[in-house]
Chains A and B, each alone.
Chain A
């Protein structure tokens, strides 16, 4: 198993990387945990690989207000960072529910957000997949779709996004810093992931040569006392989510003042549950409030043949996550 060769370029600084990365057919190499398996299986065939692993973009800092994760910070360094553990436990929970120790020591934050789907139709070159071969069709829509999306799927693609970290970051309103030869821009995490359309299934809104250089999370420490990442999967560890829920509450005088809910494994992107959040605000943290919020989360679900079980699973996961943090003191 191996892919065709490529030209290898070791980037000499960020400006050099962005300039090299702007050419057609290039791929950035950071931790390699997604790119290498894709390349070995022939699922991605870059002409050039720009090795950015040596760039100085691995910083992790917190100033009491904003947490900055350099895009090349390793997942294991983020989850072990004292200020992430203390002030952003939701991020730690999501990372520690991801992959294995061997993978977390290599994988980077930026690469994690840009990992490609685990949809079996994408991963098998013999099967139809619009994400891999645009125009070839979506085999999952009428095929084996146990893991397919409940929300946001389209004619072109019903694959889900695989990142746990992205679900936690979506719940915390993270901001992505993207650099290109033209300069730097900031976008909300949600805008990183466009929905598929009738004929296209883009992975991200990034253009060729764009590079995530950092992730910023503002003012999220207020959720530290009440947050959790609940991941439901087919085995207890080293497995992708069937359904996951990132939940965070801020409770004042017995009343929910703020609520954040995002789901993984159910959409082509981390799926923020805005109506459920709104329904929790101003209510006491009771079972009744949690049930009502969870029911709202599944109203728009569009299950296919094999994934209908994920509808009640999502509802129940939301209830359990809210029970967990509703009881935290």
Chain B
């Protein structure tokens, strides 16, 4: 059998499931699909930089961020809005970018994890995550951080409100208690 290049993004398997996830980042087209691909203009600001893009009309914001802009800090988890790994901020509000059709988001101001803190100057919540050991494998962490930053701006008044407010972010390693503790510290609770 002749060798061939596999169309799988082996280099980006940040997570046990990532290889299979990445295979469908460009939506597969059915052989008899009568619909031509449309390219839709999308002008958006991401992490302070202006982008004037042409995107596929079926691409989600997550697809564009990861596959077109190579901002791979934003993770693809369930791709169904259930896990929070793909959380980004629109203005200061958190959304599941896998549920956002990119074409709908012209003029949006987006923040991904690449726009939060730097290695030398961590965001206070990033520093708190380290202090509280609020991660293990790290796959959900970008989404947890962005969701936590948005939650902090909503002004949680109790630990219970943090637990409730973070229910859109799953951590399969089970770091939830430490995640809540990190957010609580930054919230002053």
Count chain A residues whose beta carbon lies closer than 8 angstroms to a beta carbon of B.
32
A54, B103: Cα distance in complex, Å: 11
Instruction: Give the chain B neighbours of A99 by CB distance below 8 A.
Output: 168
Whether B12 sits at the interface, judged by CB under 8 Å, is no
Total residue contacts A-B, CB cutoff 8 A: 104
Tell which of A10, A40, A100 touches B168, judged by Cβ atoms closer than 8 Å. Answer: A100
Q: Which residue of B lies closest to A238 (CB)?
A: B167
How many residues does chain B have at the interface if contact means C-beta atoms less than 8 Å apart? 40
A59 in contact (CB, < 8 A): no
- Please give me the residue from chain B that is nearest to A30 by CB atom: B104
A54, B167: Cα distance in complex, Å: 29
Q: Does B90 contact A (CB under 8 A)?
A: yes
Determine if B38 and A102 form an interchain contact, defined as CB atoms under 8 angstroms apart.
no
Q: Which residues of B contact A238 (CB under 8 A)?
A: 82, 167-168
Digitize A220-246: 1 where CB-to-B-CB distance is under 8 Å, 0 elsewhere.
000000000000000011100000000
The A interface is mostly helix, strand or loop, or mixed, namely: loop
Interface residues of A in 146-181 (CB under 8 A from B): none
The answer to whether A105 and B57 have CB atoms under 8 Å apart is no
Binds A, one of B28-36, B112-120, B121-129: B28-36
B40 at the interface (CB under 8 A from A): yes
Query: Which residue of chain A has its CB nearest to the CB of B170?
Result: A238
Query: Given the complex of chains A and B, what is the CA–CA distance between A236 and B151 in angstroms?
Result: 18
A54 nearest in chain B by CB position: B104
Task: Take A5-B58, A6-B58 as given contacts and tell me if A51 and B103 are in contact as well, using a CB distance cutoff of 8 Å.
Answer: yes
> Contact between B150 and A101 (Cβ–Cβ < 8 Å)?
yes
A313 interface hit (Cβ, 8 Å): no
On whether the beta carbons of B80 and A37 are closer than 8 Å, the reply is yes
Are B167 and A4 within 8 A (Cβ)?
A: no
9 closest Cβ pairs, A-B complex: A100-B168, A237-B167, A8-B57, A5-B35, A238-B167, A102-B96, A2-B27, A102-B168, A105-B93
Complex contacts, A32 vs chain B, CB 8 Å = 99-101, 104
A7 to B57, CA, bound (A): 8
The answer to whether A102 touches B104, judged by C-beta atoms less than 8 angstroms apart, is no
